[in-house]
Amino acid sequence: MSDTPRITPQSWLLIATMGFVWGVSFLLIEVALRGTTPFWLAAARIGIGAVFTVSVWQWRGGALWLSPARAWRRLLVVAAFSTALPFMALSWGQQYVTSGFAGVSMAAVGLIVLPLAHAFLPAERMTLRRLAGFLIGFAGVGLLVGGDALATSGAPLERLGQLACIAAAGCYAVGSVTMRSLPPVDPVGLAALPLLFGSALVVPMAFVIEGPPPLPDRQTLLVLLVLGLVPTAAANLLRVVVVRSAGPVFMSLTGYQVPFWSVFLGILLLGEPFHISLLIALALILTGTALSQWGALRRLFARA
């Protein structure tokens, strides 16, 4: 695999699709939490996604081509930080925050990726423009977590829920950068194995922390199936393709769409409240991300 990211029109189409799908997923998590517990929600989501993705992988022959021992260790890091840890953190956090907040917090992925990519990926070094974008966006993250006006759910553990959502964004950033550093590998296998390994971590933790799984009603079961098959399995396949070709910094542009869809659908379908501080935080985060991605955005408009 070349170290130089290859950004194509297909790359832009894929991140637009993933931005919408992942934006909808926060609404689905909010609905699913009415009928199940947070860790079993994460376990069901990742388990369903793993069954589907591994089936597709085996149907295609089950190839992987991952030979060095340290590459397998990195794959375990990808499994933990791209699936198990963020799924649990988001499911737990959304008990106490709105789906809109959870979606906006995902915009921080692009900011966290920047210093990580600078440290570990030679082709994606930090520049002065990217540094300025990082600082502007970091101010937005600070407002997102620290602003009293954002305490909109009224839950006593809302601040911890906010921190859990930001932690999930950090997990996704670590997973993306680690995935980019893996040697050449079959993309379907790379999408399947982290889900498989992640489910092996989440299911026992759900048993230990929450006991046996609750029996979901029909609506909850349907929502869990959609969560497992679409934003987990299908979107994860697309995510691997984008990260491995265009790079994790470009992949972080999904942060433009996810907050919009999560806030819009939360207000429209769940009747969630909206505060101006949320809008200001989102503007700062997206401005910082846009500044750091100015070259990629300019190429997009040049193709239009």
pLDDT in tens, the chain (304 residues): 445 567 777 887 888 888 889 889 999 999 999 999 999 999 999 999 999 999 988 888 877 666 666 778 888 898 999 999 999 999 999 999 888 888 878 877 877 877 777 676 666 666 777 778 777 877 776 776 565 444 455 667 888 998 999 999 999 888 888 877 777 777 788 888 889 999 999 999 999 999 999 988 999 999 999 999 999 998 888 877 787 777 766 776 776 677 778 877 887 888 877 777 767 877 887 787 777 767 655 654 554 4
Please say whether the beta carbons of 33 and 186 come within 8 A: no
pLDDT at 149: 42
Q: Is 212 helix (H, G, I), strand (E, B) or coil?
A: coil
Task: Give the distance from CA 187 to its chain's centroid.
Answer: 18
Q: Helices marked H in 33-127 — which ranges?
A: 38-59, 69-79, 85-93, 99-105, 108-120
Q: How far apart (Å, rounded) are the C-alpha atoms in residues 84 and 69?
A: 22
pTM reported for the whole predicted model: 0.78
Phi, psi of 303, deg, nearest 5 = -80, -20
Show Cβ contacts of residue 208 under 8 Å, excluding neighbours closer than 6 positions.
none
pLDDT at 4: 59
pLDDT at 167: 93
Q: How far apart (Å, rounded) are the C-alpha atoms in residues 112 and 106?
A: 10
